[in-house]
Structure 1
Amino acid sequence: MALHENAPPHQGPTRRAESGSGSKPEVLFSGEGGADEDSRYLVECPAHTTDRRLMAKIDLHVIPFLCIMYLLAFLDRVNIANAKIYHLREDLDMLNPPSRFNTAIVIFFVPYILFEIPSNMLLKKFTPATWLSLNMFLLGVTTILQGVVQNYAGLLATRFFLGLFETGMFPGAFYLIGMWYRRHEAQRRYSFFFNSTTLAGAFGSLLAAAIGQMGGQRGYSGWRWIFILEGAFTVLVSFAFYFLLPSFPEQATWLREDERQYVAAKLRLDQGDAGLERSITLGDVGRVLRDYKVLLGGIMYLGLIVPAYGYAYFAPSIISSYGYSPTQTQLRSVPPWAVAFVFSMIVAFVSDRLRHRALFAVLAVFLAIAGFAILKAVNTNIDVQYTALFLAVMGVYTAMPIIVCWFNMNLGGHHRRAIGSAWQIGFGNLGGIIASFVFEQDKAGKSDYSLGYSSCIGFCCVSAVACVLYALACWKTNQDRERASMEGRLRAVSEEEKVALGDLNSSYRYLL
């Protein structure tokens, strides 16, 4: 593998001499993304493979295991919504006051928010496989314990530790994906990973419908079996994932040395020097959080977390309010999740092909707004309300992976991405606390979700505005750097300074 500068100008990656001549396959870059726009680079792919085959190899080693990990984590997080349908509240004396169920949801987010950044710092200290599989094991054990609690206090305790052990899994996985793929390659991978949550929603409802029938077995209610069996499966998988979860590209033993060099060179051209060898300091944390674009990234995500968790935690209750039995409710919860997965993946492929994020994010948010507006306005037609649930979940769970991918992949370097991704997820999950209390407002003994729908509309609008402001900030920064480059006002920067600056390096260009 070799990296050559000043190759002939060309737009976009190009394949040359892949077969027939025996020549070494190459990929040509035109200073795209993190590389200097005035330079031209040629990266040679190892002769024994092609870029397409190598990407497929990376996909098979990185994405499936992270998807399964997060599917199980999300399932263990939100299965309390399914358990509620099978008389969780009645058995644990949570009906008076009704807000006890909301409190049980909220307490999960306290450690989940507080420990995002420390967890990503520990991810860098240990290997991802060690840290993520340990969290996965402890998460499964806590879920099992959730199924054997005897009172409300026990449920609160297990929910707290559930949030603590899950805190590093989501931002850690997003951060890890960002370390493997160039920015125009990342959206469909991010979306596929993120939409393991929609698969978890669909799969969890089907699973709950089946497990719920075990009520009475060995003296346990159906809701207890949901926690016990789903938690036990997570524990079993965690042992295998200690050996299967991916590491950073520089540490991947399943890549040959020339393949590691090739992947590192591609990522360096797209994102700048990754800076794996440099540890994260508290000064790094302060510098990252002083960047107003980073603050906007958190607001973009916060605005969507309210509707996302509002739907994830309360969709079964909303559908149950239409008059369905517990089993019918679980089964009717499946189709919106399934359709959202397909829709999100289609949008992700188009977004990657066009190498654009902002417009797709904003349009998806508008789709969610339309769904929640219909839910609020139409109170008597169950079919229309059920259709509106499709629009809401399609919009929210399409916009969220776009926003997270867009923001994370625009952060250059390990340290800025580790801190920034944890900040976005941690700050954004404040929305989970909000969602827990704006839904399930009891009026005259009946559940009234109008406040929840109104809140979802309002926070979606906040997210859309933040998306526009973030896009404008990135565009203006790119224009300023381009102008300074053309006028020769950019000072020379050492490699060490580039590592420290990350995407603040003046040769870096943000993706819009």
Structure 2
Amino acid sequence: MALTMDHKRDSDSDKGRGVGGFSFDNEKGEGATHAEHQDSLPGFDDPDAGKSDEERAAIDRKLVRKLDIKIIPWLTFLYLVSFLDRTNIGNAKVDGLQEDLGMSNGQYNAALSLFFLSYAGFEPLTNILLKRLRPSVFIPAIMVLWGIVMTTMGLVHNAAGLMAARFFLGVAEAGLFPGVAYYLSCWYKRSEFGVRSAVFFSAAALAGSFGGLLAAAIAQMRGIGGKPGWAWIFILEGLATVLIGIASYWLVHDFPDDAKFLSNDDRKRVLRRLKADGQASAEREEFKMAYFWASVKDWKTWAFAIIYMGCDGSLYAFSLFLPSIIQQLGYSSTRANLLSVPPYAAAAIITVFIGWYADRTRQRGLCNIGISLIGIAGFAMLLGSPSSPSYAGVKYAGTFLGAVGIYPCIANTISWCANNTEGVYKRGVTLGFVIGWGNLNGIVASNIYRAQDKPGYKLGHGVVLAYLALFLLGGSLVTYFALRGENAKRRKGVRNGMLEGLSGEEVKVRGDKRPDFIYTL
């Protein structure tokens, strides 16, 4: 994905005038290393006063490593557990769940849809709860709840029981993904957020990979305790989630101003580097409805929601039905679960790479555009290939391209949105809306791979292809050029009159609407 010089100039979107009227350079991290710059941050004591730039840089690198070790691994593991618990129903289906419960195809799809209905419905509220209850309390609590619900899914005897369990699983899981996306944005600079978000989200691809192996192994327990193999998938994974949730009370940390693992000096350093990055989220905010309405009235909220629905709707269609798609290529249930592993593994690697690459180039929009074309090619192969054994290899290759074209765009879109939304509560509300709307499209994804469409699944592949082309690719193109145009106006001073007559508090509420805030492309 070559960048022209013109693109490169616009890619330095974090190198403009920061919030508060001071300059910063996210690409080189100079906001954290220039002594004269750091000393200009009002309200933030400098624990490194008098140190040279080289000493400050060494301290900053050590601090970021400390944050990475303390925060990223456990949260990534939690999302792996979360995604495993919401998508293992696809593995259970190929092991006989639908037949054992006497469910029609419509009832099975309804059970999938109910999860997304509750999951998406509760997401916009969860970031406010996360902020008020503290991450170390909120995240472990919802994990214990969804672990209990997951365990009950292995005890159901009919379609109604499964539907009820899926609904409450959606309620309990609703807070994790938007909560962690918001939480990470409160710890890292905009130029650091993408790769951390990608590592976190790569757990979804790993969950698909690991889930296939785990489901194939657990299903061998069929008959133990008089229960089928699919029931043991739910029971064992649910009990494990409860234990992990309890452990999370000690392993999930609070926001920077309250985190216990930080010394007082390190806490000041974290807050100072966020402030130097132009993030008002470095300061404490009290919730006001003004932040909510600022999000609702911002065109970017809905632009990113459209982009996210393009990749998230495709994601759920892919993850829920990949075992079924592969099974229609002529493989047994166990083999289908095992063959679902390699596409997810490839997606995990590319997700992390794109997160790193987008951080370095500041071209999150172009990354979305390029990656979406790969996904479009993959589903075009699935849709256009005849349903005959001789084309099984082509279709299986299409699943690889499909996975690689979907998964990286999830983390990249969330990073793009978070980079361009300023203010603690506004960002939290915006991410809740964007992720909630995206997940609501899981209802569509749950109903497009119909049993009567086997083995070709033309309807399902066609809908996913449309989502990728219209919403992910089209939305990314429109948003990229709109942000680029707005940056040009801000650099020329066209927007400088926006703050005339406003009080300091009114200016603060404007966040990324301030003319000195330069958008990340």
Distance apart, 1:486 and its partner CA: 9.6
**1:26 and 1:284, CA in 2 relative to 1: closer, same or farther beyond 3 A?**
closer
Match of 2:435 among 425, 450, 453: 425
1:219 equivalent in structure 2: 226
1:387 equivalent in structure 2: 397
Distance apart, 1:172 and its partner CA: 0.2
Q: Deviations over 1:396-443 (max 9, x none)?
A: 001121111111121111011100000000011121011111112415
Distance apart, 1:319 and its partner CA: 0.7
Distance apart, 1:275 and its partner CA: 6.4
Match of 1:70 among 74, 79, 84: 79
**1:488 and 1:329, CA in 2 relative to 1: closer, same or farther beyond 3 A?**
closer
| CA distance, structure 2, for counterparts of residue 191 and residue 222 of structure 1 | 33
1:457 equivalent in structure 2: 465
Which is further off, 391-400 or 261-270?
Answer: 261-270
Contact kept, 8 Å, 1:112 with 1:167, in 2: the verdict is: yes
Match of 1:476 among 485, 499, 507: 485
Q: Deviations over 1:280-321 (max 9, x none)?
A: 234432231111111101000011122111110000001111
Contact kept, 8 Å, 1:301 with 1:425, in 2: the verdict is: yes
Confirm whether residue 144 of structure 1 aligns to residue 151 of structure 2: yes
**Gaps spanning 5+ residues in structure 2: where?**
1-19, 43-48
Superposed, which structure 2 residues align to 1:117-136 within 5 Å? 117-136=124-143
Distance apart, 1:52 and its partner CA: 1.3
1:39 equivalent in structure 2: none
1:54 equivalent in structure 2: 63
**1:91 and 1:278, CA in 2 relative to 1: closer, same or farther beyond 3 A?**
same
Contact kept, 8 Å, 2:127 with 2:175, in 1: the verdict is: yes
Superposed, which structure 2 residues align to 1:99-118 within 5 Å? 99-118=106-125
Contact kept, 8 Å, 1:11 with 1:29, in 2: the verdict is: no
| CA distance, structure 2, for counterparts of residue 207 and residue 10 of structure 1 | 45
Q: Give the TM-score taking structure 1 as reference length.
A: 0.90
SS in 1 for 2:452: strand
Distance apart, 1:247 and its partner CA: 1.4
1:206 equivalent in structure 2: 213
Match of 1:406 among 398, 416, 419: 416
| CA distance, structure 1, for counterparts of residue 93 and residue 80 of structure 2 | 20
Contact kept, 8 Å, 1:11 with 1:30, in 2: the verdict is: no
Q: How many residues align?
A: 488
One-letter code aligned to 1:192: V
**1:101 and 1:49, CA in 2 relative to 1: closer, same or farther beyond 3 A?**
same
Match of 2:476 among 460, 463, 467: 467
One-letter code aligned to 1:483: K
1:302 equivalent in structure 2: 309
Q: Give the TM-score taking structure 2 as reference length.
A: 0.88
Contact kept, 8 Å, 2:155 with 2:231, in 1: the verdict is: yes
**Per residue, is there more helix in 1 or in 2?**
2
| CA distance, structure 2, for counterparts of residue 374 and residue 474 of structure 1 | 33
Distance apart, 1:227 and its partner CA: 0.2
Across the aligned residues of Structure 1 and Structure 2, the Cα RMSD in angstroms comes to 2.7
| CA distance, structure 1, for counterparts of residue 25 and residue 312 of structure 2 | 41
Confirm whether residue 506 of structure 1 aligns to residue 511 of structure 2: no
Which is further off, 107-116 or 481-490?
Answer: 481-490
Identity %: 35
**1:10 and 1:263, CA in 2 relative to 1: closer, same or farther beyond 3 A?**
closer
One-letter code aligned to 1:81: G
| CA distance, structure 2, for counterparts of residue 486 and residue 296 of structure 1 | 21
1:13 equivalent in structure 2: 28
SS in 2 for 1:249: coil
**1:378 and 1:9, CA in 2 relative to 1: closer, same or farther beyond 3 A?**
closer
1:345 equivalent in structure 2: 352
Distance apart, 1:351 and its partner CA: 1.5
Confirm whether residue 278 of structure 1 aligns to residue 312 of structure 2: no
